Amino acid sequence: MSAEMRDVAMQLAYVAASVLFILSLKWMNSPQSARRGVWAGVWAMILGIGGTLLNPAVAVSSLPWIALAVMVGGIIGVPLSKVPLTAVPQRTALSHAFGGLAAGLVGTAKYYLWIHEGGGNLTTFRMFAISAEVILGFLTFTGSLMAAGKLQEILPGRPITYRGQLIVNFLTLGGAIACAIGLIINPQWTFLFPLLIILSLAFGVMLIIPIGGADMPTVIALLNSYAGLSAVAMGFVLDNTLLIIAGALDGSSGLILSIIMCKAMNRSFSNVLFGAFGSPQEDAGGEAGKAVKSATAEEAAEIMEQADEVVIVPGYGMAVAQAQHRVRELYDQLTKRGIRVRFAIHPVAGRMPGHMNVLLAEADIPYEDLVEMDEINPELPQVDVVLVLGANDVVNPAAKNNPKSPIHGMPIIEADRAKTVLAVKRSMKPGFAGIDNELYTMDKTLMVFGDAKAVVGDMAKTLAGDSGMH
C-alpha cells in the first residue's frame, strides 16, 4: 500500500472512530443502551489504533516496539479489569493515572527529541502544548494515585491538612506555570524542564491529600477531566486529530460530570478542592450519646411485610458487602406480596458516579424502579418503610437541620420523613464525612446491625418462609 493510500485509510479510520466515540457517550446516557455504548467505545479504540499503525510516519522498524508495549499493557491491564465492582472507583483512578503518565512521558520525549534535533520544531505553540501536556499529565498521574490510595484505604481517607497549605499549593502550581512560561519564551532553557516535571508531580499529590473521602466521587470525575485535557494537548503535540477529539470529549464530559456532582452536594469546585470536607468534626451536631433502637432481620422483615410501599436506599455498605443479589431476592419477595418497592438513588452514593446504578443493574433490578433523589423526596412522607442499606451521609438530616454540620446544605434523600426507617449497618461508625447520623437516633428508626449481605438474606428468607400473602 502506497503512503498516500495509507494516509487516506488512516484519516477514514479516525473519522469513523470519532463518530463512534461520540455515539458511545450518547448511548451510555441510558442503561438500556449502555452496553452498546461500551462496545462503540471499544471499536473506536480499535479503529484508532489501527489507523495510527497505517500512518506513513510509523516506521516498520517500530512495530516490534509497539507490539511489546501492547503486550506489557495487556499484562498490566487484564488483571486490573478483573476487580469486584466495589473496587471499580480505585481501578478507575488508576486508569486516569496511567493516562496522565502516558501524556506526561510523551510530552517529555517529544521535548527532548526536538531539543536534540536543534529545537527548530519547538515553536511557541508546540512548547505551549507540551507544557500543558506535562503539567496536566503528571499532576493527573500523582493525583490519581493518591485518590486510588485513599479509596483502597492504603492512605488515610481523611483530609491531610497543615498550616499554610493553600499558599504552598498555589506556589507549587505557580512555579510550574512559571517554568512553562520560561520554556515558551526560550525552549533552550532545558534546566527548567525537569523542574516543571517535579513541580507538576508534587502539585498532584498536594491537590488530593486535603480532600476527604466524601468528595471522592467528584474528584474521580475531575481527574477524568484532567486526563482528557492532557490528551488534547498530546494530540496537538503529535498532530493527531483523533487524540484531540477523544481528549476533548473525555475532558468536557468529566468536567460536566464534576459540575453535576458538585451541584448534587450543593458545593463549589473551590470548596471541594480546598475545603477539606470529610474530616472528623468536633461539633457535628449529632447525638452520639443517645441510645438507638434495634431490631433483628426477622423483625425488620415482618415490618416490611405489613407495608404498602417500601423504598430502599442503597449505599456503599451494600457495595462492600456485595449484597445486591440478596437485595434482588428481597425485592422479589416483597413484590410477590403486592408491595410497591422502589430504590432511591443519591447522585453521590458510593464512591463514584453511578456506582449504585451499576450494582443494582448487575442484580437485574428493573431500571424503572430506580428513582432519583429529587423525584422520590416529595413522596417519602407517604412511604411506609424506608430501608437504608449501608448509606450514611446521603440520608443524614443534619444536612437540613444543623447549620454547624460540615454537610449542611448538601441535598439528601429525606428518609427521615418516612413513617418508619430500617437502617442496616455493621456498626454506628460514621460515614465518609466523619460525623454522626441523626437519622439513626430518631424514634421512628430501627437499627439492624450486621453485614448487609447476611442481614438482607435473612430478611428474604423470613419472607420466603411466610406463606401468607400481603
- 367 has pLDDT over 90: no
Cβ distance 136 to 235 under 8 Å? no
The answer for residues whose C-beta is within 8 angstroms of residue 463's C-beta and 6 or more apart is 301, 304, 305, 330, 333, 334, 337
Quote the cell numbers at residue 363: 442484580
Cβ distance 143 to 162 under 8 Å? no
Cα 464 to Cα 123, 299, 332, 460, 468, distances in angstroms:
73, 14, 10, 6, 10
pLDDT of residue 289: 53
Give the span between the Cα atoms of 200 and 385, in whole angstroms.
51
Residues 3-11, mean pLDDT to the nearest whole number: 86
DSSP 25-59: HHHTTSTTTHHHHHHHHHHHHHHHHHHHHT-TTS-
DSSP 189-237: -TTHHHHHHHHHHHHHHHHHTT--GGGHHHHHHHHHHHHHHHHHHHHHH
Phi, psi of 421 (to 5 degrees): -120, 130
Quick one: which of 303, 367, 425, 364 has its CA closest to 29? 367
- 21 has pLDDT over 90: yes
Tell me which amino acid residue 167 is. I
Cβ distance 236 to 209 under 8 Å? no
Centroid of chain to Cα 346: 14
Instruction: Quote the mean pLDDT of the chain.
Output: 86
Kindly indicate whether the domain formed by 297-465 is annotated with CATH number 3.30.230.10. Answer: no
For residues 291 and 456, the model is more confident at 456
Give the span between the Cα atoms of 354 and 314, in whole angstroms.
12
Per-residue pLDDT band for 315 (boundaries 50, 70, 90) equals confident
pLDDT in tens, 247-291: 999 899 888 888 777 776 666 666 666 555 444 444 444 444 567
Cβ distance 453 to 323 under 8 Å? yes
Inter-axis angle of helices 192-208 and 165-185, to 10 degrees? Answer: 150
Give this prediction's pTM: 0.76
For residues 269 and 307, the model is more confident at 307
Residues 100-107, mean pLDDT to the nearest whole number: 94
Tell me which amino acid residue 294 is. S
Centroid of chain to Cα 109: 30
Residue 393 annotated to the active site: yes
- 461 has pLDDT over 70: yes
Across 11-15, 178-182, 225-229, the highest mean pLDDT is recorded for: 178-182
Give the span between the Cα atoms of 320 and 451, in whole angstroms.
9
Residues 302-324, mean pLDDT to the nearest whole number: 89
pLDDT in tens, 187-246: 999 999 999 999 999 999 998 888 776 677 778 888 889 999 999 999 999 988 999 999
Strands 309-314 and 340-345: parallel
DSSP, collapsed to helix, strand or coil, labels residue 370 as strand
Percent of the chain residues past pLDDT 90, beyond the cut: 46
Quick one: which of 165, 168, 278, 273 has its CA closest to 219? 273
DSSP letter, residue 379: G
Strands 420-425 and 445-449: parallel
Q: Residues 170-179, buried b or exposed e (16+ Cβ, 10 A)?
A: eebbebbeeb
Q: Residues 194-232, buried b or exposed e (16+ Cβ, 10 A)?
A: eebbebbbbbbbbbbbbbbbbbbbbbbbbbbbbbbbbbb
Residues 388-395, mean pLDDT to the nearest whole number: 87
DSSP letter, residue 294: B
Quick one: which of 243, 275, 247, 271 has its CA closest to 258? 271
pLDDT in tens, 23-78: 998 888 776 788 899 999 999 999 999 988 888 888 778 888 889 998 998 898 88
Q: How many residues does the chain have?
A: 470
Give the span between the Cα atoms of 310 and 444, in whole angstroms.
15
State the catalytic residue, choosing from 250, 393, 416, 458. Answer: 393
- 329 has pLDDT over 70: yes
Give the span between the Cα atoms of 89 and 273, in whole angstroms.
19
- 166 has pLDDT over 80: yes
Quick one: which of 360, 362, 330 has its CA closest to 343? 360
Residues 406-431, mean pLDDT to the nearest whole number: 84
Quick one: which of 284, 277, 283 has its CA closest to 161? 277
Q: Is 55 exposed, middle or buried (0-12, 13-18, 19+ CB in 10 A)?
A: middle
